[in-house]
Structure 1
Amino acid sequence: MNYEKCMQDFLDYIELERNLSPQTLKGYRAELDLTLKYFKSHNLPLDIGEITIQHIRKYLTYVKKERNNSPASLNKKISVLRSFFNFLTNDDSYGIKINPTFRLSQIKKERKLPQILSLEESRKFLLGIKEVSSYPKRDYAIFLMFLHTGCRLTELKELTITSVDLQEKYVRFFGKGSRERIVPLLDQTCEALEEYLKIREPSIETNQLFLNSRGRPISKEIIAKTFKTLAQKTGVYKKGLSVHKLRHTCLTLLLKEGIDLRTLQEIAGHADIATTQIYTHVAQVDLKRQMNKHPLAKKIEDNLITE
């Protein structure tokens, strides 16, 4: 059966039955389109039943060497192709008995620790917003929400007034794959949102919670740009810091305070606890740094007092 027909069947399946987000669907389509273009340009089989693991390995070698794909990008391609062929293998109508991606292994990659703000820097940043922001009540509520709930940029941007319950003190997020989760709100966050709602003035009819300076739904780009400006003005900006790192900051600070990984996974909205475990590495780096302050860290001989 033709690759393009199978690809469209798969995309219809993940959109309708798995209910993946438009952004995720777009990513799957782009990966499968790239594979198709490579197969066409290199005269490889376009009949889905003739594709072997050797063909797929040639493609992965190509994107690694010619397109300089990182291990993370290669693993994404492997994951998409594996899902695609799993779908085809599980349906007898496609006539595929052996999944050609079955023996493909994920590529090991170095796990980089995320850039974060310290507790002191987080406090300095939040306090400084009220002094340097052109829209202090809105910006304070936005960045307090990031640091208190660990939400993603897209999740915050898409928040509606009805997704926040200030009486019961919780917020309802819709994360990756449209997965819903409820995160409790702290009193301080509720107060900040109440103050913002008092001055919120939409110029069009919209239920979106956070608005730009023209009273329209705020964009991710504006939030990111505002964060960088405020981080610079408050003196906490450093190379590699972005608004997404506020999520990492929140989750790391919670872990340091003793929250267990399963609870942290629920707050973060991670589908796999392995994703959450990277924060343990961040906490351990801080732990090692603190251990260097141990009174017996120096050589014992250096601390002896001679009589």
Structure 2
Amino acid sequence: MSLAEAKVLFLRDIRLLSQETQRWHKENLTAFEKVLAKQGIEISDVGSLTAKMVKENFVFYMSEEMGLMANTINGRVRSVRALLKFLHGEGHIAKNFGADIPMIKGEEVIIETFSEEQIDALLRQPNRHTFTGLRDYTLMLLLLETGIRISECVKIDLTDVHLKEGQIRIHGKGAKQRLVPFQGKFRRALQRYLEVRGPAESEALFVTVDGTRISKRYVQELIQDYGEMAHIRDVRVSPHTFRHTMAKYYILAGGDIFSLQKILGHSTLDMVRRYVELFSTDVQMQHRKFSFLENHM
């Protein structure tokens, strides 16, 4: 089996994962083929792949000859590791040597978060006397309260919301679902929004004035606009910054990494451990309940 054929089989095997994940793996594995091809290497039999070849002709070549960033290289390595695991599981290669393929150590990426003053400024921008303003205010509260991804936020339906239980069913990556909790202050804000929203035809929780589901890009743009209105310049104003901010205050309040992992929907503990490294120094100063809304609004 050639490398090109192996890639096709692997991509077929992961077709139940999100489209973004499938596209990411496809791009990385196509890059794997191209990097080898630049050196005149064509893999007609995946059984000929070795850890040394992948390290020398892929990882080190991208770093030393092509000068690619560590994040780009490591993303591609993750996809190659996933491919090797699949090929070994299917009996196409004798050994899964993915663990022997190294990652490149790069500069630590700074995780930006909002300060309390910046959060207050952002939440003051929507005009809550209008439907869209109340919707945007509630949406930002949801991101801050739960730390969910924006792609997950726009997928929420009315049937996913359980006000009495204080939970929302989230449709995450890889068709995985999880229940994310919320507290009393957000419950009251959400209830108010639902009353104003009324019986729109769409099943979506967050809708436009026409009653249609809002898009991921639409939310990204409106949050950027509110950032401009709030004159926030030193932090990237994006839905993902809300996610990092929620994690920060959760850790500062003494929340444990296992429950945070569940809430955020991370498949591993790597990212939440990173949050702990960055934000746990002041845990004793704020050892209270995790919710930012409960403590600061």
2:294 maps to: none
The equivalent position to 1:136 in structure 2, one of 110, 133, 138, is: 133
Between the aligned partners of 2:175 and 2:185, the Cα distance in structure 1 is 28
| Distance in 1 (alpha carbons) for counterparts of 2:68 and 2:169 | 36
Q: CA deviation at 1:154?
A: 0.8
Mapping of residues 208-227 of structure 1, within 5 Å? 208-227=204-223
Whole-angstrom distance in 2 between the partners of 1:189 and 1:14: 37
Bigger CA radius of gyration: 1
Alpha-carbon distance change, 132 to 225 in structure 1, aligned in 2, over 3 angstroms: farther
Aligned partner of 1:29 in structure 2 is 26
Instruction: Structure 1: state its 5+ residue gaps.
Output: 291-307
Which residue of 84, 109, 114 corresponds with 2:111? 114
The equivalences for 1:1-307 within 5 A come to: 1-15=1-15, 19-47=16-44, 48-56=46-54, 57-64=56-63, 68-92=67-91, 94=92, 96-99=93-96, 101-130=98-127, 135-200=132-197, 205-284=201-280
Distance change (3 Å), C-alpha of 1:65 and 1:153: farther
Q: Percent identity?
A: 26
What amino acid maps onto 2:194 in structure 1?
L
Secondary structure of 2:100's counterpart equals coil
Find the aligned partners of 2:170 and 2:153 in 1 and give their Cα distance.
Answer: 8
Normalised TM-score (structure 1): 0.81
Change (3 A) 1:157 1:131: closer
Judge conservation of contact 1:228–1:237 (CA < 8 Å) in 2. Answer: no
- Tell me, in whole angstroms, the C-alpha distance in 1 between the residues paired with 2:48 and 2:57: 15
- Cα distance in structure 2, aligned partners of 1:179 and 1:2: 32
Asked whether the 8 Å contact 1:45–1:51 carries over to 2, the reply is no
| 3-state SS of 1:115 partner | coil
SS at match of 2:213: coil
Question: Where does structure 2 lack aligned partners over 5 or more consecutive residues?
Answer: 287-297
Deviations 1:233-288 (A, max 9, x none): 1244434332210111111111111112222222222222221022223324667x
- What is the one-letter code of the residue matched to 1:76? G
Q: Following the alignment from structure 2 to structure 1, what is the Cα–Cα distance between the partners of residues 11 and 227?
A: 41
Alpha carbons of 1:258 and 1:286: their partners in 2 closer, same or farther (altered >3 Å)? closer
Q: Secondary structure at the match of 2:168?
A: strand
Question: Deviations along 1:8-53, whole A, 9 cap, x unmatched?
Answer: 22122222xxx42221111111111222233345431322122333
Q: What root-mean-square deviation, in Å, do the aligned CA atoms of Structure 1 and Structure 2 show?
A: 2.8
Q: Is the 8 A contact 1:137 1:192 kept in 2?
A: no
The one-letter code of the counterpart of 2:50 is: T
TM-score normalised by L of structure 2: 0.84
207-216 or 165-174, larger mean C-alpha shift: 207-216
Quote the offset at 1:73 in angstroms: 1.7
